[in-house]
Structure 1
């Protein structure tokens, strides 16, 4: 239990916060739907339930992925977060399907909803909370990629760098972007339906919300399927290759691999050195490289191997070719 508690403390805080808030929101929306029968509210209720369950699983997965390697699993549990996210998107996919089906039925058989004030009040409350979670996810994104921003720059820079964030943070960012936008869409549909005879708009809004949910499902599935298979980070590979190449004791970089394991990066590289150097000098080079590479965000493991310089440039040529 002590080990589990320590792991949970390392779980993704954005996912936990989002899960709690979405659970509260889903209860409020569910009560509002029961009282009003509003189809757009039904879509938003399912959306929030899916998000709450999804983000809770993400929190658990991100925590368990921090478990130390064992003799049975010597490579650690980093990819566990990707497996959990693949399972979690199934929940969102089911909710998205139900949302679209309900919206379609409402378009065929439109009915005027009741409880206009209740629906508007609950949705306005939900939008404020979801926007708060989204803003926290934006700040967490910037923290993970090492970028500072203030004011409106938090929004623009987080959107530009969300693909560099950890898998759990990225999912919260995407889900709450859709949740906030979907809430605004549902609110607009309710207002239009109340003041005009065009009640089908609630069904249309429900279908659009469902489609947006499916987009999140597709994006999350593709990202985490790559993570489960073992995805190389070519951008970080280039950065680390330059670090090694610019070391005074390194003549060339022969091979380099940067593999993403969950939220962590494992680096293996072979560098070419002067064949006449001593073991002590080679050890100094190894220590310098490991120390410098481990300072890169997310890198937790570095393996450095040596080969004698063959006077054939490889690293610069590989960059030119690319």
Structure 2
């Protein structure tokens, strides 16, 4: 599979797995709520419903980010992935966290009897298994695409859709544990406030996760720079070339998952390029033709001036090719000469 193809489908498997898993779990949890009347179970049902809707939004973003570049959007639609991930994160905050915390506070103010049966715990157990499975799928996807990098670094620079699934399913697994403990405590003690506290704790976890995802996707939409170590290595490649004295300005942006754009200004050393040409014996034949005729020499110089921009351009193309050989994800390069 080609690199570009693999980048285009990155995040699809975890999102589809989470979408199907959470959709099924949401139905089960709503059934559990109607059977038991538990506020924590309702919070978990709302949580799973919100996750299902959010993963549908992530899928929209992934599909739309694959659209080819047009005259109107010459750099493509890669940032659609970040936009829909941001909308998804806002949905988690307002629908998931907001509704869940409201339900918990309402249960504290107006306690309701919860009729807990073995069916409720069975539903929570099934949810735990499915959520753990989709969590593992997301984790493996991040590990596969992140290579040997530290996991903290992968979370910083990885696909936002896959990271969203990882966070959502991680919180979902914890949420099931919280719901199980709060329902069990309510059943054992007869104190209904445990059920309400469980709902509030689940809502707070969702809120914190949503804020993290909102901040991450906001940065990507604003044009977050490429990883620092990649930037440093690209500058090193540029300055290793004899024709480039220094890089005076370097700017970059992440355009999509695995797609970078860089722009830099360099101090160009024309003498180094000329020495390289002459070392290969360039202009030797032309010199022999005009060495005894000054007018022919002037004419040759005027004609040769037209070749200089092309020579410089070809050299810049070689440098860009060298960068892309090491970092294929750098799909747009703009090198300006000072």
Task: Give the alignment's TM-score, normalised by structure 1.
Answer: 0.82
Q: Which residue of 2 aligns with 1:12?
A: 12
Give the counterpart of 1:224 among 217, 223, 228: 217
Q: Which residue of 2 aligns with 1:139?
A: 140
Q: Which residue of 1 aligns with 2:256?
A: 262
Task: Give the 4+ runs in structure 1 shifted more than 4 A.
Answer: 7-11, 278-282
Q: Which residue of 1 aligns with 2:98?
A: 97
Q: Which residue of 2 aligns with 1:4?
A: none
Whether contact under 8 Å (1:58, 1:88) holds in the other structure is yes
Q: 1:274, CA displacement in angstroms?
A: 2.2
Q: Distance in 2 between the 1:111 and 1:298 partners?
A: 56
Q: Distance in 1 between the 2:232 and 2:8 partners?
A: 34
Say yes or no: does 1:51 pair with 2:46. no
Q: Distance in 2 between the 1:90 and 1:254 partners?
A: 39
Q: Distance in 2 between the 1:204 and 1:267 partners?
A: 49
Q: Distance in 2 between the 1:247 and 1:206 partners?
A: 61
Whether contact under 8 Å (2:11, 2:161) holds in the other structure is no
Q: Which range is displaced more, 162-171 or 48-57?
A: 162-171
Whether contact under 8 Å (1:112, 1:193) holds in the other structure is no
Q: 1:97, CA displacement in angstroms?
A: 1.1
Q: Which range is displaced more, 239-248 or 211-220?
A: 239-248
Q: 1:84, CA displacement in angstroms?
A: 1.3
Whether contact under 8 Å (1:99, 1:209) holds in the other structure is yes
Q: Which residue of 1 aligns with 2:4?
A: none
CA RMSD of aligned residues (A): 2.4
Query: Please, which runs of 5 or more residues in structure 2 have no aligned partner?
Result: 1-6, 275-309
Give the counterpart of 1:272 among 267, 273, 286: 267
Partner SS, residue 232 of structure 1: coil
Alignment: residue pair count: 293
Q: Which residue of 2 aligns with 1:115?
A: 116
Whether contact under 8 Å (1:127, 1:183) holds in the other structure is yes
Q: 1:207, CA displacement in angstroms?
A: 0.5
Whether contact under 8 Å (1:86, 1:224) holds in the other structure is yes
Say yes or no: does 1:303 pair with 2:304. no
Q: Which residue of 1 aligns with 2:197?
A: 204
Q: Distance in 2 between the 1:35 and 1:73 partners?
A: 52
Structure-2 change in CA distance of 1:268 and 1:290 (3 Å): farther
Whether contact under 8 Å (2:116, 2:183) holds in the other structure is no
Greater C-alpha radius of gyration: 2
Whether contact under 8 Å (1:294, 1:301) holds in the other structure is no
Structure-2 change in CA distance of 1:125 and 1:160 (3 Å): farther
| Structure ranking higher in helix proportion | 2
Q: 1:159, CA displacement in angstroms?
A: 4.9
Q: 1:240, CA displacement in angstroms?
A: 2.1
Task: Give the alignment's TM-score, normalised by structure 2.
Answer: 0.79
Whether contact under 8 Å (2:111, 2:192) holds in the other structure is yes
